[in-house]
A and B are shown apart, each in its own frame.
Chain A
Amino acid sequence: MGREDRSAALIEQVFRDEWGRVLASLIGHFGDWDLAEDAAAEAFAIAAQRWPSDGVPDHPAAWLITTARRRAIDRLRRDRVLAAKLRLIAAAEPPAGEARSENTAEDTVDTSPIPDERLELVFMCCHPALAVEAQVALTLRAVGGLSTEEIARAFLVSPETMKRRLTRAKSKIKVAGIPFGVPSGPQLPERLGAILAVVYLIFNEGYGDPDRPGLAAEAIRLGRVLAGLLPAQPEVLGLLALMLLHDSRRETRFAGNEHGQDLVLLPDQDRSRWDWRQIAEGRALLDRALGQAAHPAGRTGPYVIQAAIASLQAQEQLDWPQISVLYGKLAELTGSPVVRLNRAVAVAEADGPAAALAIVDQLDLPDYQYWHSTRAELLRRLGRRDEARAAFRRALDLARTAPERRFLERRIAES
């Protein structure tokens, strides 16, 4: 890589890393999203022009925030002047204390510590008064620094649709008075849960689709930001651990063939191609989270339990009894029938298919593909072939992706 390429790559890296901080600081300061976003974009454009020749400043975030603030103030002043002219009000003296800044000031940068307000920004983006799809888009735009086009591509909608979605969400924030701040006391766990759900949704969008791996990486990046901002929240660490552990197997979850990408189940995955450094990192985070959750005031939440399950799934000899116990705890905590179904899969390995089928038959999820496919698999192992085939067919009717359909078709042919 040449010197210029290196500096371009470095600048792009700084942009990605600092966008959220810069935007958060500006929204916190001015209380207006559009003004903050425009000013931040202007500051980044100036940086893109100057940094390649002048070099990246020692405190890039401080430089960007100072520059953007001045741009925003200039703009506010221009708008005020414009408004004054429009109203035909005689020109008044500029308010005291607002000496003209002009553009020379960009070279003097305030390097005193600037508080990190990204957490306030995340809580604003994931406020329950916004639709979940808006929360997702805002979080990726504001905290992740993705462009509207990138988000549109990731969610398979047109850039215009995504632009409208973001505009509507920003307008609701402003008009309805959605606060920029971290909620206090009793509200915190619920509101934090909404943030974690958004990040996990972004992760799963990418994880479930071999063509969109960027979203999983983006979710992990968001997870790292949150873990840095809330290092004492076990669920935050648990979610990051869970994503790292799942993502460590990404290279082995799909196998290409003449039909496209086929799903490879856990026992058939090539363990030597798992990302073991990432597994180690996920396990270390899980240990920290479990340590915090063991504290008298703490509790083991659903993300920590799921991370623990993912950690067990990375062992060479799968400890199915332990996995089924953890799924049992998770089911108790969430009351989710889908989790009970997952528990049944573990029970099948630990105690045999009959015990698992008893659990599955207590559930009633007629519209859920995996309920049918799990039942089918258990029936197949019990030698009830006609019933198995019928259940595989029901699953096939509900399957949405081509790899899943091919998998089920093979199963029907085999049973």
Chain B
Amino acid sequence: MQYALLIYYKPGTNEVLGADEAEAVHREYTELKDAPGIIGGAALHPVETATTVRLRGDQLLVTDGPFADTKEIFAGFYLLEADDLDRATEIAARIPAVRLGGSVEIRPVVTDQD
């Protein structure tokens, strides 16, 4: 099965971490890319850099900022190949966001077999 591990951050997490710790966390994310089953993923720049596109009536509306103000910020994702949800949970639990007050949402990916 394929899972997307969607990483959500509590706003301000990076500011709270000292420079050393932030670097250590960054290293952890890089190392996780080599964890068994990880086949892809991406880290996203902060929401301040986001642009949202939507349709208002028949007019295309382009605005600054994220689509919705939420308590947690979507920060990136890993793509994981795993036997089942328990294996996926084991990997998800190792993502630093989990212990830093954020969360990881595990979503099964639609594949050709679906």
State which of A56-64, A175-183, A216-224 sits at the interface with chain B.
A175-183
Q: Are A178 and B84 in contact (CB under 8 A)?
A: yes
Q: How far is the CB of B107 from chain A (nearest CB, A)?
A: 8
Kindly state the separation between the CA atoms of A183 and B106 in the bound complex, as whole angstroms: 19
Q: Across the two chains, which residue of chain B brings its CB closest to A187?
A: B86
> Is A129 engaged at the interface, CB distance under 8 Å to the other chain?
yes
Q: Which residues of A contact B88 (CB under 8 A)?
A: 177
Q: Which residues of A contact B96 (CB under 8 A)?
A: none
* Contact code string A324-349 (vs B, CB < 8 Å = 1, else 0): 00000000000000000000000000
Q: Are A179 and B83 in contact (CB under 8 A)?
A: yes
* Contact code string B1-41 (vs A, CB < 8 Å = 1, else 0): 10100000000000000000000000000000000000000
Q: How far is the CB of B90 from chain A (nearest CB, A)?
A: 9
Kindly state the separation between the CA atoms of A129 and B88 in the bound complex, as whole angstroms: 12
Interface residues on A, range: under 10
Kindly state the separation between the CA atoms of A178 and B3 in the bound complex, as whole angstroms: 12
Interface residues on B, range: 10 to 19
Kindly state the separation between the CA atoms of A178 and B1 in the bound complex, as whole angstroms: 11
Q: Which residues of chain B (31-66) have a CB below 8 Å from chain A?
A: none
Kindly state the separation between the CA atoms of A177 and B82 in the bound complex, as whole angstroms: 9
Q: How far is the CB of A343 from chain B (nearest CB, A)?
A: 35
Kindly state the separation between the CA atoms of A256 and B11 in the bound complex, as whole angstroms: 59
> Is B100 engaged at the interface, CB distance under 8 Å to the other chain?
no
* Contact code string B64-105 (vs A, CB < 8 Å = 1, else 0): 000000000000000000111110100000000000000000
* Contact code string A107-135 (vs B, CB < 8 Å = 1, else 0): 00000000000000000000101000000
Kindly state the separation between the CA atoms of A127 and B86 in the bound complex, as whole angstroms: 10
Kindly state the separation between the CA atoms of A85 and B84 in the bound complex, as whole angstroms: 32
Kindly state the separation between the CA atoms of A4 and B1 in the bound complex, as whole angstroms: 50
Q: Which residues of A contact B85 (CB under 8 A)?
A: 127, 129, 176-179
Q: For B82, B85, B108, which residue has the most chain A Cβ atoms within 10 angstroms?
A: B85
* Contact code string A171-209 (vs B, CB < 8 Å = 1, else 0): 000011111000100010000000000000000000000
Q: Are B108 and A176 in contact (CB under 8 A)?
A: yes
Q: How far is the CB of B5 from chain A (nearest CB, A)?
A: 13
Q: Which residues of B contact A176 (CB under 8 A)?
A: 85, 106, 108
Q: Which residues of B contact A187 (CB under 8 A)?
A: 86
Q: How far is the CB of A16 from chain B (nearest CB, A)?
A: 30
**Residues of B participating in the A interface, judged by any CB pair closer than 8 Å:** 1, 3, 82-86, 88, 106, 108, 114
- Having A127-B85, A177-B108, A179-B86, one finds 14 other A-B pairs with CB under 8 Å, namely A129-B85, A175-B108, A175-B114, A176-B85, A176-B106, A177-B1, A177-B3, A177-B82, A177-B83, A177-B88, A178-B84, A179-B83, A179-B85, A183-B86
23 A-B pairs with CB atoms under 8 Å apart are A127-B85, A129-B85, A175-B108, A175-B114, A176-B85, A176-B106, A176-B108, A177-B1, A177-B3, A177-B82, A177-B83, A177-B84, A177-B85, A177-B88, A177-B108, A178-B84, A178-B85, A179-B83, A179-B84, A179-B85, A179-B86, A183-B86, A187-B86
